[in-house]
Amino acid sequence: MSFNIQILPDNISVSAEKNEILKDVLHRAGIDLEAACGGLGTCRRCDVQVIEGYCDVPAIDGRVLSCQAKITGHLKIIVPEPNGLQDIQVETEFPADDKYAANDEQLVASTDISPLSIKYHLKVPPVSRDEHTSDLERLKIQLSTQTASKKEPECSLSVLRKLPEVLWQGEGDVTVTLTRCQSPEESCRLESDGQPEWRLIQIDPGNTMARYYGIACDVGTTSVTLNLLDLGTGRLLGSASSYNGQIVCGADVISRIIYARKPENLKELTDRITETINRLLNALLTLFKVNLLDVTSAVFSGNTSMIHLLLGIDPKHIREDPYVPVVKFPPRMKAGALGINIHPKASVICTPGVGSYVGGDISSGLLYSIHKRQPGGLELYIDIGTNGELVIIGDEWMMGCACSAGPAFEGVGIGCGMRAADGAIQKIVIEDNGTRFSYNVIGGGKPRGICGSGLIDLVSCFYSLGFIGKDGRFDKETIRDSNNQKLAARLTNNENRWSFTVAEADETDDNKAIYITEQEIRNILRAKAAIFSGCSLLLKKVGLGLSDIQAVTISGGFGQSLDIEKAIALGLFPDIEPDRFEYIGNASLSGAMLTLLSEKHRIHIGRIARSMTYVDLSSELDYMDEYTAALFIPHTDLSLFPSLSP
Amino acid sequence: MSFNIQILPDNISVSAEKNEILKDVLHRAGIDLEAACGGLGTCRRCDVQVIEGYCDVPAIDGRVLSCQAKITGHLKIIVPEPNGLQDIQVETEFPADDKYAANDEQLVASTDISPLSIKYHLKVPPVSRDEHTSDLERLKIQLSTQTASKKEPECSLSVLRKLPEVLWQGEGDVTVTLTRCQSPEESCRLESDGQPEWRLIQIDPGNTMARYYGIACDVGTTSVTLNLLDLGTGRLLGSASSYNGQIVCGADVISRIIYARKPENLKELTDRITETINRLLNALLTLFKVNLLDVTSAVFSGNTSMIHLLLGIDPKHIREDPYVPVVKFPPRMKAGALGINIHPKASVICTPGVGSYVGGDISSGLLYSIHKRQPGGLELYIDIGTNGELVIIGDEWMMGCACSAGPAFEGVGIGCGMRAADGAIQKIVIEDNGTRFSYNVIGGGKPRGICGSGLIDLVSCFYSLGFIGKDGRFDKETIRDSNNQKLAARLTNNENRWSFTVAEADETDDNKAIYITEQEIRNILRAKAAIFSGCSLLLKKVGLGLSDIQAVTISGGFGQSLDIEKAIALGLFPDIEPDRFEYIGNASLSGAMLTLLSEKHRIHIGRIARSMTYVDLSSELDYMDEYTAALFIPHTDLSLFPSLSP
């Protein structure tokens, strides 16, 4: 028997079978609610308001979690207003001196421009009757006068089919596009064995040298950012970003790998990321009036699981013992094979990864970081996104690991957490002699939640006020005895669950109070402990200590408004001078741009991925001890934090 | 207004618009009648019998040409019985000692087997947890122990997607298939710069080494023959042939190029040849229970126009000044891009051509011919198919040309002509002291027409009886005065058109008399003159004469039952000892098999095509003189035919 499900506010009706999960029914109706927990019922982000009818789970305050509710009869519900999963943010202005912005002009200027695809404007001389040279031969002869490459390009079938018309109608005045046919792995080898391989993928009449584009894309677990570049100049034209459309299938890498267990779900994940990329692409191509056939190369950078899912490869062994990926150096592919809406024969490469949990996004970020600043002394590279990855960079070596930090710093697993986007509290300070919190909201409006840097600030404030102890538990006595009863009153106990209200319902954008529980504070300490202990363990493996670190580079969305001193005080980062920290933004994306633009960088990124030693923390015997010791603020071993000594 | 067209004997009804061409209406109903003339109304092979109704052209003997008749009202017609266009002939037994058969065991035995695709059975060791090597890395490491090749193969996306399942479920016991990624042009270059490129296109669980197939296909203008080979042993398993499905769009190369002028017609021609190939393929794969994914390489050999049409490339400049093809060395392609139903990533190469009218079929035939017999002295290679091509082979050089011989020797342009297939008169002799013709029919049944060798015999008989003069015209007086009035009575005059009846209606398969007109005899002389004059002109260009020729190799369907002495007497071939002639069958197909099987031959065929000098007879000033002198039997210059001197 099937039931009618009426969905407001858009008044969509859809029929559902008994025992269908409400979330699946909504999905069929084209409504995807965020599911940070992957449908486990823990993130509570998919709740809907029931107006009429009942499900198999009782409604609380008239609301049910759609991932938990099974259909038992007709239903009339209200779904929340669009939650931004479909929103695309487009940027087209990049201050030339913004060292964090993707369009680092200095970076482009110092890059030898040799993109994955090349265009040549040719004047192919007419054939004389005695020569009998074919159209393709004449084209190749003319091309050879312009290319330094010894090897003749292979011609694609589609170019062969267009060749006679374009060549004869334009009297030999044509522009051709060639793609380099090598993945970073091959680029690596090129140093020794010479010639690149080329493929002729496009021919157009006349001079179309100005229509020459490429894309670089960071495929994050949470967000996807796609940059459109003019390959003639190397200039960044525009950047578009949005949530990764896979987010409704799970917030973190592990929940997506679990979701992908069914072949149809794997396909769904691949379709969803492809669709996200194509939406971003479409937004930029429309804005800049670019024909998709003029976009002839692409670089994707992402963690190992995201790249597996983009390529449609089952990632399950990444999560299962012995935790190996199917591929670390993906082969070059054609855009058409991936369903990416640019020139179907465009060369697509994915930045090469190091291991199951240190992916191409890290190689790419390191490429950018090393390019920006010639390393001097031991450097620590930290990427905090949906997961945390660390790399220690020595003179002639690199060693990397992933920390099971979880996505706490992207706001996931924290009831009021959110990513660093409009509405997120990104900074919290204590004002008026410790009597009042003051916060700073991204975008300037009312808050909707707290992002990673705000959480660091918050926990740091609590600690400096004495509201929490070294173990992150609320010190109820201190709070009760506080000379500020207005702040103290914010600590409440509901069903034996202590929580502290950061913003009252009337202060917020959605009239829901923003609060944090004791449990969540301890989750944040777990995350910081994972990162710190990863760092100290890596150093220990090479016989070095925290004090040997000369510089710390931070990448990822989390670092942008981070208060370094507070992060050190919390024990997240090693205790070195704050001015030795540098935040370099979305380095994965910047590295993808370098990979797109220059052969030198394609060779370099392959060398980075090949040369890095990958450490699997879960198989390190010392790791649990290190981790446990780091669970306190700032650490059990205070000698590691000399600057914090009273 | 639309009309009903009722088609017997199958009683199909189809509606047609006023002024539609009847042939197009039949095509829509799935009935394709042969149109050797390309719909010009000259070959008269598409006539149908009108039972009821009228078209815009008057019916003659109740019949109209469906390519000429426009619909003016309801119609009831009878179409001829299936004319064999859909028939497939399959052969699976090849006498090992048949030197003309495709399965020349000696040929295979002397060929170093190195196909375009290679299979390896691998046991990939399990991963140890400390290694973090990806599935692909472990596969490649294991593969490198078996391949001599230095370069790592590129992995296709589809293999990457299958890799984890196949590798883990079979505990590393897998078979992989790699294709060589080079066209003959690249093979040519390989001599100098070393390593081939490989692509991993298939992975299967367990040991599938026995499932390893390739195809070689001769794409003739009239007939298509496809051979299925076991690539492990090099053995030919089966051969299937049928008419080229394009034949309904025109019998010869020129009429197809004209037909292809409209883009939708070009697509139709490409679809038709692809469909023909796929039907032959399906017949063999079904017979031998072969999975299409196990067919991993293919070689196509055909004249330049046929290859253009197979690849969907507009061939119009082959026919228009300056008569150049779009491509002579087609790039390697994937079967999927061409719509050929084998492994979609299978490497497909087309044998390389020399010019617009000396195509890959000639390079391929020469490859086979040179492989069979190490040349000694000047050799003349003659391929007579739907067109005639000649190559003179010297010690270190080759020179080739095409003769505008037309398809007369394939029976086209001759009312009673047909190709060398069942029902064709292939031999004609005069018996009983010149009083009676006796003929030999292919297949042994009643005749339906005369094929090329039969036409040579017939004209030769006429000449020796004195029935025709040196110019091919009937000598009515000699015939009238002949002592055999039974034969003489066969010469009739109908509307000022002289014709000679070879077989009366009651002797034939379809109860239609087989006759030849004076005009047709002169067409045959034109064809022989084109070939002979091409030969003498080529020789003249290099300062040699007919008497310098040491050997003549004949390929193509025409030569099989040819009486060499009669052909010399007619002036078709140079006057050298008949035992210096050798017929080598469908050499284009045999060469395609060599190209499929061996890297050595792929390099060789590229060298053949590169090194041959192409002569365009139509731009040679002397050609018309040579041609005109050769229009007589045997020639105006009898000194060229010393053996015929009385």
pLDDT in tens, A164-216: 999 988 899 999 999 876 655 554 443 334 455 788 999 999 999 999 999 99
Instruction: Compare A162 and B147 and report the one with higher pLDDT.
Output: A162
d(CA A376, CA A355): 26
Percentage of chain B with pLDDT > 90?
47
Predicted pLDDT of residue A412? 67
Asked if the model's pLDDT at residue B194 lies above 60, the reply is no
Predicted pLDDT of residue A592? 95
As a whole number, mean pLDDT of residues B609-634 equals 90
Residues 346-375, chain A, touching B (beta carbon < 8 A): 355-356
Predicted pLDDT of residue A53? 84
Asked if the model's pLDDT at residue A122 lies above 90, the reply is yes
Range of weakest confidence among A99-113, A292-306, B206-220: A99-113
Q: Give the pairing of strands A47-55 and A12-17.
A: unpaired
d(CA A233, CA A109): 9
What structural domains and CATH numbers belong to chain A? 2-78 (3.10.20.30), 114-205 (3.10.20.880), 212-350 (3.30.420.480), 373-407+524-644 (3.30.420.40), 419-514 (no CATH)
d(CA B281, CA B238): 10
Task: Name which of B144, B157, B201, B354 to mutate to probe chain A: the one with the most chain A Cβ atoms within 10 A of its Cβ.
Answer: B157
Predicted pLDDT of residue A484? 75
Nearest chain B alpha carbon to A614: B132
As a whole number, mean pLDDT of residues A319-340 equals 91
Asked if the model's pLDDT at residue B192 lies above 90, the reply is no
Q: Could you tell me how many CB contacts below 8 A there are between chain A and chain B?
A: 140
Answer whether A643 touches B (CB < 8 Å).
no
Q: Is B38 helix (H, G, I), strand (E, B) or coil?
A: coil
Alpha carbons within 13 angstroms on the beta-carbon side of residue B129 total 10
- Choose among B79, B73, B3: nearest CA to B48: B79
Predicted pLDDT of residue B49? 83
Contacts of A172 in chain B (CB under 8 A): none
A306 Cα to chain B: minimum distance (Å) = 14
Output the average pLDDT for chain B.
Answer: 86
Contacts of B619 in chain A (CB under 8 A): 129-130
In degrees and rounded to multiples of 5, residue B82 shows phi and psi of -45, 130
Per mean pLDDT, which of A30-34, B296-300, B331-335, B393-397 is the most reliable? B296-300
As a whole number, mean pLDDT of residues B61-73 equals 85
A190 Cα to chain B: minimum distance (Å) = 11
Query: Which DSSP letter does residue B295 get?
Result: E
- Choose among B444, B356, B405: nearest CA to B558: B405
CB contact under 8 A, A160 and B614: no
Contacts of B612 in chain A (CB under 8 A): none
Contacts of B609 in chain A (CB under 8 A): none
Instruction: Compare B13 and A188 and report the one with higher pLDDT.
Output: B13
Contacts of A130 in chain B (CB under 8 A): 616, 619
CB contact under 8 A, A326 and B134: yes
Predicted pLDDT of residue B106? 65
Contacts of A314 in chain B (CB under 8 A): 161, 164-165
Express the helix, strand and coil content of chain B in percent, nearest 5 each.
Answer: 35, 25, 40
Range of weakest confidence among A102-106, A483-487, A596-600, B557-561: A102-106
Q: pLDDT-derived band of residue A436, with 50, 70 and 90 as boundaries?
A: confident
First to last CA, chain A: 71
Predicted pLDDT of residue A164? 92
Q: Which residue has the tokens 């992402």?
A: A302
Predicted pLDDT of residue B47? 82
Per mean pLDDT, which of A418-427, A601-610, B127-136 is the most reliable? A601-610
Percentage of chain A with pLDDT > 90?
47
Q: pLDDT-derived band of residue B82, with 50, 70 and 90 as boundaries?
A: low
Predicted pLDDT of residue B412? 67
Answer whether B611 touches A (CB < 8 Å).
no
Asked if the model's pLDDT at residue B42 lies above 70, the reply is no
Answer whether B50 touches A (CB < 8 Å).
no
Range of weakest confidence among A101-110, B12-21, B246-255, B377-386: A101-110
Answer whether B113 touches A (CB < 8 Å).
no
Predicted pLDDT of residue A189? 45
A23 Cα to chain B: minimum distance (Å) = 29
Q: Give the pairing of strands B295-302 and B379-384.
A: unpaired
Asked if the model's pLDDT at residue B464 lies above 50, the reply is yes
Asked if the model's pLDDT at residue B298 lies above 90, the reply is yes
Answer whether B197 touches A (CB < 8 Å).
yes
Instruction: Compare A110 and A526 and report the one with higher pLDDT.
Output: A526
pLDDT in tens, B599-621: 889 989 999 999 999 998 888 88
Predicted pLDDT of residue A2? 86
pLDDT in tens, A236-246: 999 999 889 99
Predicted pLDDT of residue B151? 67
d(CA B575, CA B563): 13
A264 Cβ neighbours under 8 A, 6+ residues apart: none
Predicted pLDDT of residue A564? 92
What burial letters (b/e) apply to A616-632, b meaning 16+ CB within 10 Å? bbeebeebeebbebbbb
CB contact under 8 A, A164 and B136: no
Predicted pLDDT of residue B185? 52
Number of H helices, E strands in chain A: 19, 28
CB contact under 8 A, A156 and B313: no
Whether B219 and B307 have beta carbons less than 8 Å apart is answered as: yes
CB count in 10 Å sphere of residue A432: 9
Output the average pLDDT for chain A.
Answer: 86
Q: pLDDT-derived band of residue B196, with 50, 70 and 90 as boundaries?
A: low
CB contact under 8 A, B164 and A337: no
**Looking at the partner chain, which of A129, A134, A322 has a beta carbon nearest the beta carbon of B326?**
A134
**Looking at the partner chain, which of B137, B155, B311 has a beta carbon nearest the beta carbon of A157?**
B311
pLDDT in tens, B244-267: 999 888 878 888 999 999 999 999
CA angle B319, B324, B328 (to 5 degrees): 120
B298 Cβ neighbours under 8 A, 6+ residues apart: B116, B214, B215, B216, B217, B335, B340, B342, B346, B347, B348, B349, B596
Residues 543-572, chain B, touching A (beta carbon < 8 A): none
As a whole number, mean pLDDT of residues A358-379 equals 88
Task: Name which of A157, A185, A318 to mutate to probe chain B: the one with the most chain B Cβ atoms within 10 A of its Cβ.
Answer: A157
Task: Name which of B192, B326, B611 to mutate to probe chain A: the one with the most chain A Cβ atoms within 10 A of its Cβ.
Answer: B326
Bond from prior residue into B634 cis (ω within 30 degrees of 0): yes
As a whole number, mean pLDDT of residues B475-479 equals 87
pLDDT in tens, B95-152: 655 544 445 566 666 778 889 899 999 999 988 767 788 999 899 889 988 876 556 7
Answer whether A316 touches B (CB < 8 Å).
yes
**Looking at the partner chain, which of A137, A317, A327 has a beta carbon nearest the beta carbon of B328?**
A137
Answer whether B331 touches A (CB < 8 Å).
yes
CB contact under 8 A, B327 and A193: no
**Looking at the partner chain, which of B189, B314, B321 has a beta carbon nearest the beta carbon of A129?**
B321
Answer whether B195 touches A (CB < 8 Å).
yes
Predicted pLDDT of residue B148? 63
Answer whether A619 touches B (CB < 8 Å).
yes
Predicted pLDDT of residue A54? 82
Predicted pLDDT of residue B375? 61
Predicted pLDDT of residue B86? 57
**Looking at the partner chain, which of A132, A333, A338 has a beta carbon nearest the beta carbon of B355?**
A132
Q: Is B262 exposed, middle or buried (0-12, 13-18, 19+ CB in 10 A)?
A: exposed
CA dihedral B456, B459, B463, B469 (to 10 degrees): -130
Task: Name which of A140, A183, A186, A324 to mutate to probe chain B: the one with the most chain B Cβ atoms within 10 A of its Cβ.
Answer: A324
A598 Cα to chain B: minimum distance (Å) = 21
**Looking at the partner chain, which of B131, B134, B311 has a beta carbon nearest the beta carbon of A160?**
B311
**What string of DSSP letters covers A591-617?**
HHHHHHH-HHHHHHHHHHHHHEEEE-G
CB contact under 8 A, A129 and B616: yes
Contacts of B132 in chain A (CB under 8 A): 323-324, 355-356, 614, 616
Q: pLDDT-derived band of residue B414, with 50, 70 and 90 as boundaries?
A: confident
Alpha carbons within 13 angstroms on the beta-carbon side of residue B169 total 9
Contacts of A338 in chain B (CB under 8 A): 157
Whether A592 and A184 have beta carbons less than 8 Å apart is answered as: no
Predicted pLDDT of residue B68? 86
Predicted pLDDT of residue A510? 80
Task: Name which of B124, B133, B134 to mutate to probe chain A: the one with the most chain A Cβ atoms within 10 A of its Cβ.
Answer: B134
Predicted pLDDT of residue A345? 93
Predicted pLDDT of residue B283? 94
Answer whether B330 touches A (CB < 8 Å).
yes
Instruction: Compare A430 and B544 and report the one with higher pLDDT.
Output: B544
Predicted pLDDT of residue A419? 73
As a whole number, mean pLDDT of residues A508-524 equals 88
d(CA B255, CA B406): 11
| Strand stretches in B415-555, DSSP E | 424-431, 436-441, 449-450, 491-494, 497-503, 514-517, 551-555
Query: Which DSSP letter does residue A148 get?
Result: -
